[in-house]
Amino acid sequence: MKLYGLPGACSLVDHIALNWIGKPFEYIPVSREGLKVAPFIDISPLGAVPAIDDDGFTLTQNIAILEYLAEKNPEAKLFGGDSLKARSEARRWLGLCNSDIHKTYTMIFGAARLMAEKAGQDELAAGAIKRARDLYAVADKHLAGRDWLSEGRSVADAYLYVTTRWAKAKNVDLTGMPNLEAHFERMNADPAVQAALAAEGLKSI
Ligand SMILES: N[C@@H](CCC(=O)N[C@@H](CS)C(=O)NCC(=O)O)C(=O)O
């Protein structure tokens, strides 16, 4: 199994999941310049990470990869438990992370792709930073009195953690969200998370 990623990007979610699974894999960092050219573009038509190569079977799109890893390794319980309710709850939060939170960061990190003028880019990013706070508030409320988004730890927790790292880097206002902060520290304390950070040359924040 090979995982293609950019340090600290959404591919860190899959890196954490692979560490939870605990089977051998190779982490292959892709350079920014390498994203949009061969050989990586042949694997990932959008020139985006994550991508995996499992013995010649290549796959992109984070949700599909996480589902693939979970189905291939059911003992790892990557979707928060065995019950339908636990797995559905994990998928719900995975959806929020991938479709709502992550897409909000596309307007922060990728404002220059969407708006020609610098003033427009700044306005778009500022609006998205405010929107991100509203989305984290939903997760913070849900996490009151619970350790994980679903019954047990799941890939949704890894995704929330990775985007919370981005929130801290982009100064998203997370004040008054103690449950989200505790969740972030819980993830930071996980040896699989620390191993993924170290392998990507990152430090805890
Ligand atoms: N819909 C894709 C989005 C992947 C994505 O946005 N990846 C980012 C890193 S977090 C990326 O590779 N960006 C580089 C680029 O688009 O140029 C997924 O869920 O896998």
Q: Is 46 exposed, middle or buried (0-12, 13-18, 19+ CB in 10 A)?
A: exposed
User: Could you read off the pLDDT of 97-155 as tens digits, one per residue?
Assistant: 999 999 999 999 999 999 999 999 999 999 999 999 999 999 999 999 999 999 999 99
* Mean pLDDT value across the chain: 97
pLDDT at position 205 over 90 = no
Give nearest CA residue, ligand 1 atom 18.
61
Looking at the structure, do residues 73 and 88 belong to the same domain, yes or no? no
Task: State the pLDDT at residue 204.
Answer: 85
Give nearest CA residue, ligand 1 atom 15.
48
Task: State the pLDDT at residue 147.
Answer: 98
3-state helix, strand, coil in the chain (%, to 5): 60, 10, 35
Residue 180 lies in a domain: yes
Closest ligand 1 atom to 60 CA: 20
Looking at the structure, do residues 135 and 179 belong to the same domain, yes or no? yes
Residue 99 lies in a domain: yes
Residues 6+ apart with CB under 8 A from 51: 3, 4, 40, 43, 44, 58, 59, 60, 65
Residue 199 lies in a domain: no
Looking at the structure, do residues 91 and 70 belong to the same domain, yes or no? no
User: Could you read off the pLDDT of 65-103 as tens digits, one per residue?
Assistant: 999 999 999 999 999 999 999 999 999 999 999 999 999
Looking at the structure, do residues 58 and 96 belong to the same domain, yes or no? no
62 lines ligand 1 (CB under 6 A): yes
Report the run of H or E that residue 52 belongs to, with start and end.
Answer: strand 51-54
Looking at the structure, do residues 102 and 177 belong to the same domain, yes or no? yes
Give nearest CA residue, ligand 1 atom 13.
48
Task: State the pLDDT at residue 151.
Answer: 98
What is the extent of the structural domain holding 42?
Answer: 2-77
CATH number at residue 46: 3.40.30.10
> What is the count of structural domains for the chain?
2
Q: Say if CB 197 and CB 189 are below 8 A apart.
A: no
Residue 10 lies in a domain: yes
Residue 197 lies in a domain: no
User: Could you read off the pLDDT of 150-171 as tens digits, one per residue?
Assistant: 999 999 999 999 999 999 999 9
Looking at the structure, do residues 41 and 99 belong to the same domain, yes or no? no
Looking at the structure, do residues 32 and 97 belong to the same domain, yes or no? no
